[in-house]
Amino acid sequence: MKKFFSFVAAALFAGSMMAANLLSIDFTQGQGEWTIDNKELGGLDFVWAQSSQYGMKATGYVNGNHATEAWLISPAIDLSAVEAATLSFSHARRYGDNSQLSVKAKAGEGAWADLSVSAWPDGSNWTFIDATADLASYVGQAGVQIAFVYTSTAEGGATWEIKSVTVADQGGAVTPVDPTDDADVTFTPADFEGQGQAATLETPGGAVTATKNGVTVATDNGYGHNLALRVYANGHFSITSATEQIGKIKFQFYSTYDGGLDQEVVVNGMSYEVASMAKQARIEKIQVYFGTAEEIKVEPITVAKAIEIAQALTPEVGSTATTAEKYYVKGFIVGISSKYENTWYMADEAGAYGEFQAFRCSSIDYAVSEGDLVIVSGKISNYHGEGQNGEFYSYEISGGVLEHVYAEGIENVVMTEKAQKVIVDGVLYIVRDGKMFNVQGAQVR
pLDDT for 58-104, tens place per residue? 999 988 899 999 999 999 998 887 878 889 999 999 998 899 999 99
Asked if residue 276 and residue 309 are part of one domain, the reply reads: no
Residues 399 and 317 in one domain: yes
Helices (H) and strands (E) in the chain, counts: 1, 33
Could you tell me the pLDDT band of residue 412, with boundaries at 50, 70 and 90? very low
Q: What is the pLDDT of residue 298?
A: 66
CATH number, domain containing residue 106? 2.60.120.200
Residue 257 in any domain: the answer is yes
Return the H-helix or E-strand segment holding 308. helix 303-312
With respect to residue 155, please indicate whether it lies within any of the assigned structural domains: yes
Quick one: pLDDT at residue 8?
26
Assess whether 76 and 110 both reside in one domain.
Answer: yes
- The pLDDT score that the predictor gives to residue 87 is 92
Task: For residue 404, list its beta bridge partners.
Answer: 374
When pLDDT is averaged across residues 123-140 and rounded to a whole number, the result is 88
Q: Within this chain, do residues 159 and 184 fall inside the same structural domain, yes or no?
A: no
Report the pLDDT value the prediction gives residue 125, as an integer from 0 to 100: 85
Q: Is residue 108 pLDDT above 60, yes or no?
A: yes
Q: CB-based contacts of 80: which residues, under 8 Å, 6+ apart?
A: 140, 141, 142
257 shares its domain with 340: no
Tell me the β-bridge partners of 345. 335, 357
Overall number of domains in the chain: 3
More confidently predicted of 379 and 405: 379
What's 427's domain CATH number? 2.40.50
Per-residue pLDDT, 164: 92
pLDDT confidence of residue 370: 81
Please state the separation of Cα 402 from the chain's center in Å.
17
Asked whether residue 443 is domain-assigned, the answer is no
Asked whether residue 444 is assigned to any structural domain, the reply reads no
Q: pTM here?
A: 0.43
Which pLDDT belongs to residue 352?
78
* Confidence check: pLDDT of 306 > 60: yes
Residues 152, 26: one domain? yes
- Per DSSP, the residues of 143-184 read SEEEEEEEEE-SS---EEEEEEEEEEE-S---B-S-TTS--S
Same domain for 145 and 76: yes
CB atoms within 10 A of CB 295: 10
Q: Do residue 144 and residue 211 come from a single domain?
A: no
Confidence of residue 35 (pLDDT cuts 50, 70, 90): very high
Whether 221 and 146 share a structural domain: no
Q: How far is CA 436 from the centre of its chain?
A: 35
- Domain span at residue 205 reads 4-14+178-293
Residue 445 placed within a domain: no
CA torsion through residues 298, 22, 252, 397, sign: positive
The residue among 255 and 442 whose pLDDT is bigger is 255
- Among 293, 309, 342, the domain-final residue is 293
pLDDT at position 424 is 59
So what's the pLDDT on residue 111?
94
| 401 lies in some domain | yes
- Rounded Cα–Cα distance for residues 352 and 333 (Å): 9
33 and 96 in a single domain? The answer is yes
Q: Are 8 and 75 contained in the same domain?
A: no
In a domain, 348, yes or no: yes
Which stretch of DSSP H or E encloses residue 305?
A: helix 303-312
Distance, in Å, from the CA atom of 178 to the CA atom of 247, rounded to the nearest integer, reads 15
pLDDT per residue as tens digits for the range 197-233: 998 877 889 999 999 999 999 999 999 998 899 999 8
Same domain, 165 and 26: yes
Q: What is the pLDDT of residues 152-193, one digit of tens each?
A: 999 999 999 999 998 987 764 333 334 345 789 999 999 999
Q: What pLDDT is recorded for position 178?
A: 41
- In a domain, residue 341? The reply is yes
SS3 120: coil
What percent of the chain clears pLDDT 70, i.e. is strictly above it?
A: 80
Distances from the Cα of 57 to the Cαs of 16, 23, 72, 108, 201, in angstroms? Answer: 32, 20, 10, 27, 18
Inform me whether the pLDDT recorded for 380 exceeds 70.
Answer: yes
* Distance of alpha carbon 445 from alpha carbon 438, whole angstroms: 9
Q: Is the pLDDT of residue 47 over 90?
A: yes
Q: Which of 263, 293, 323 is the C-terminal boundary of a domain?
A: 293
Final residue belonging to a domain, choices 121, 136, 169: 169
Whole-number average pLDDT of the chain: 81
pLDDT in the model for residue 144: 94
Whole-number pLDDT of residue 349: 84
Q: Give the model confidence (pLDDT) of 250-295 as tens digits.
A: 999 987 788 878 888 888 888 888 878 878 899 999 999 998 887 6
Choose from 101-115, 125-139, 412-426 the range with maximum mean pLDDT: 101-115
Q: What is the per-residue pLDDT across 3-25, written as a single tens digit (0 to 9) for each?
A: 333 322 222 222 223 345 788 88
Band (146; pLDDT cuts 50, 70, 90)? very high
CA 40 centroid distance within chain:
33
Rounded mean pLDDT of 139-146? 91
pLDDT-derived band at 375, boundaries 50, 70, 90: confident
Question: Mean of the pLDDT values across residues 229-239?
Answer: 92
Work out the number of other CB atoms within 10 angstroms of the CB of residue 268: 14
- 437, pLDDT greater than 80: no
